[in-house]
């Protein structure tokens, strides 16, 4: 029954995209079949082939090694504040070891380390080669232009601003549809700099967390392209560009491995501070909002909160992904947190749920559904980034922004449905 529910949900998400389209006609069957086919193919390979699962498990072990190495640095700089409570001797008696895990000192530094590793991989042209492969696949399968395919491939590994920056000279020449694809894929995927962070947070409740997060980002890209082409259909003119040249140019961002380490550190510091500041501000704003809502009469014997309101609004959406209705309210609250705040807070909220609130299957579905930048804060970041790169198209970027939030959200919902089907 849940499988039928998820299949119905995929159709419903496509229908919602058609209703939001600038040209409300049924999408071409070939586009849908290829887009959905790529999603199912990527997901099927991961879920059904043991050697790929073992490969992803190997990646997960690499994450553990990186986290352990990071702890060596945080212990040296922050002392007992930066270490695993199980491995640290405290100068005072500890009643609850879990309470000693401080986000700023233990979790956020992972962003810094991964930023450096990413820069090193860019310098040695490992990541550019991987991105080029995804770009060519998306370009040939879905017929998008070279610049767009390259940007979509990059979005699987870098952020919603960093990826468009790689095709900055071509942004002004993109068609309206191609520009919307760039924005939609940015909303539906996440950056490699935070994958490890999310994997560490989800590790207690999701086996091989990094493998699932990486898979979610990969299979959400073709979904976002498909839905973007439905919402903003392409015109006859198609902008193309030289993928090979773009990829080759990436390696020259760093002049040496030392330069890569230095610049990667500086970029990581900026990102780490930004993530920490956003978490602080957004958490405070939610608390303030809940205080105001608390002045309203109680509903169902409980005070009104933002999370409760959003849980009811998003419950039908998560039900369409294949989550049982008995768990839809809880899962809906996570989707609401992700949309209004960010996916990191949603992942943290999911790990803090009472045991039994979500089944193992529903937890996996929500892991995939929450894995995307489609939230109001990211939307503001993307608008600021794209308009600074191409001021002459600022008005068009702003007008497309709300639609990209919708397409990005629907793309991750489709990804969640597919994960549930193949579970």
Give the pLDDT confidence of 57-69 residue by residue, as tens digits. Answer: 676 677 678 878 8
Instruction: Give mean pLDDT, residues 92-106.
Output: 75
Half-sphere exposure of 63 (CA within 13 A, CB side): 27
Assess if residue 364 is contained within a domain. no
Taking only the tens place, the pLDDT of each residue in 120-149 is 888 888 877 877 787 787 777 777 777 788
Assess if residue 346 is contained within a domain. no
Backbone angles phi, psi at 299, to 5 degrees: -120, 120
Range name among 42-46, 313-317, 334-338 with the lowest pLDDT average: 42-46
Taking only the tens place, the pLDDT of each residue in 141-159 is 777 777 788 888 888 877 7
Assess if residue 270 is contained within a domain. yes
| pLDDT of res. 377 | 82
298: which DSSP letter? P
Q: How confident is the model at residue 385 (pLDDT cuts 50, 70, 90)?
A: confident
| pLDDT of res. 248 | 47
| Overall pTM surpassing 0.85 (yes/no) | no
Backbone angles phi, psi at 50, to 5 degrees: -65, -35
Range ranked top by mean pLDDT from 7-21, 155-169, 247-261: 7-21
Q: What range does the domain containing 60 cover?
A: 2-82+100-281+371-422
Question: Which residues are paired to 299 by β-bridges?
Answer: 302
pLDDT at residue 23 is higher than 50 = yes
Assess if residue 149 is contained within a domain. yes
| pLDDT of res. 235 | 65
Assess if residue 297 is contained within a domain. no
| pLDDT of res. 361 | 94
| pLDDT of res. 56 | 65
CA 420/CA 10 separation, integer angstroms: 11
CA 376/CA 235 separation, integer angstroms: 28
DSSP element (H, E) containing 73: helix 50-78
Residue 34 or 31, more confident = 34
Judge contact between 407 and 373, C-beta under 8 A.
Answer: no
Count structural domains, the chain. Answer: 1
Q: How confident is the model at residue 321 (pLDDT cuts 50, 70, 90)?
A: very high
Assess if residue 14 is contained within a domain. yes
Give the helix, strand, coil percentages of the chain, each rounded to 5.
Answer: 75, 0, 25
Taking only the tens place, the pLDDT of each residue in 335-356 is 999 988 889 989 999 999 998 8
Q: How confident is the model at residue 202 (pLDDT cuts 50, 70, 90)?
A: very high
> Token pair 């998820």 is at which residue?
6
Taking only the tens place, the pLDDT of each residue in 208-262 is 888 889 889 888 989 999 999 999 988 644 444 444 544 444 444 688 999 999 9
pLDDT at residue 378 is higher than 80 = yes
Range ranked top by mean pLDDT from 17-26, 243-252, 279-288, 324-333: 324-333
CA-to-CA dists, residue 115 to 26, 62, 259, angstroms: 43, 15, 13
| pLDDT of res. 241 | 46
Assess if residue 255 is contained within a domain. yes
DSSP element (H, E) containing 111: helix 109-123
Q: Where are the beta strands (DSSP E) in 213-278?
A: none
Please provide the average confidence, as pLDDT, over all residues in the chain.
84
pLDDT at residue 405 is higher than 90 = yes
Residues 6+ apart with CB under 8 A from 304: 293, 294, 296, 298
| pLDDT of res. 238 | 44
CA 178/CA 225 separation, integer angstroms: 9
Assess if residue 359 is contained within a domain. no
| pLDDT of res. 60 | 63
Residues 6+ apart with CB under 8 A from 133: 153
């Amino acid at each position: 029954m849940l499988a039928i529910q998820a299949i119905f949900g995929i159709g419903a998400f496509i229908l919602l995209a058609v209703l939001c389209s600038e040209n409300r006609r049924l999408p071409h069957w070939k586009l849908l079949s290829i887009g959905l086919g790529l999603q199912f193919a990527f997901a099927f390979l991961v879920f059904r082939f043991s050697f790929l699962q073992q490969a992803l498990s190997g990646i997960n072990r690499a994450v553990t090694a990186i986290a352990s190495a990071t702890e060596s640095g945080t212990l040296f700089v922050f002392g007992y504040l930066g270490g695993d409570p199980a491995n640290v001797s405290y100068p005072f008696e500890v009643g609850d070891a879990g309470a000693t895990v401080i986000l700023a000192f233990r979790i956020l530094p992972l962003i810094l380390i991964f930023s450096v590793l990413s820069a090193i991989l860019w310098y040695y042209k490992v990541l550019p080669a991987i991105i080029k492969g995804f770009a060519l696949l998306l370009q040939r399968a879905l017929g998008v232009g070279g610049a767009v395919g390259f940007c979509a491939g990059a979005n699987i590994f870098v952020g919603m601003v960093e990826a468009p920056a790689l095709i900055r000279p071509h942004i002004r020449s993109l068609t309206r549809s191609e520009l919307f694809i760039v924005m939609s894929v940015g909303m539906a995927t996440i950056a490699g700099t935070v994958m490890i962070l999310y994997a560490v947070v989800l590790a207690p409740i999701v086996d091989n967390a990094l493998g699932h997060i990486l898979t979610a980002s990969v299979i959400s890209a073709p979904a976002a392209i498909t839905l973007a082409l439905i919402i903003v259909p392409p015109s006859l003119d198609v902008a193309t560009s030289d993928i090979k040249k773009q990829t080759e140019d990436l390696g020259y961002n760093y002049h040496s491995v030392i330069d890569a380490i230095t610049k990667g550190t500086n970029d990581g510091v900026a990102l780490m501070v930004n993530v920490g500041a956003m978490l602080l501000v957004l958490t405070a704003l939610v608390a303030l909002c809940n205080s105001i809502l608390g002045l309203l009469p109680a509903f169902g014997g409980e005070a009104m909160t933002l999370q409760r309101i959003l849980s009811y609004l998003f419950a039908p959406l998560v039900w369409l992904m294949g989550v049982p209705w008995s768990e839809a309210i809880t899962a809906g609250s996570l989707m609401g947190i992700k949309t209004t705040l960010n996916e990191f807070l949603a992942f943290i909220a999911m790990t803090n749920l009472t045991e039994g609130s979500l089944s193992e299957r529903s937890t996996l579905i929500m892991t995939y559904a929450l894995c995307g930048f489609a939230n109001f804060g990211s939307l503001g970041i993307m608008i600021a980034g794209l308009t600074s790169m191409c001021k002459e198209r600022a008005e068009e970027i702003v007008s497309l922004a709300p639609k990209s939030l919708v397409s990005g959200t629907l793309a991750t919902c489709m990804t969640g449905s597919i994960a549930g089907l193949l579970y």
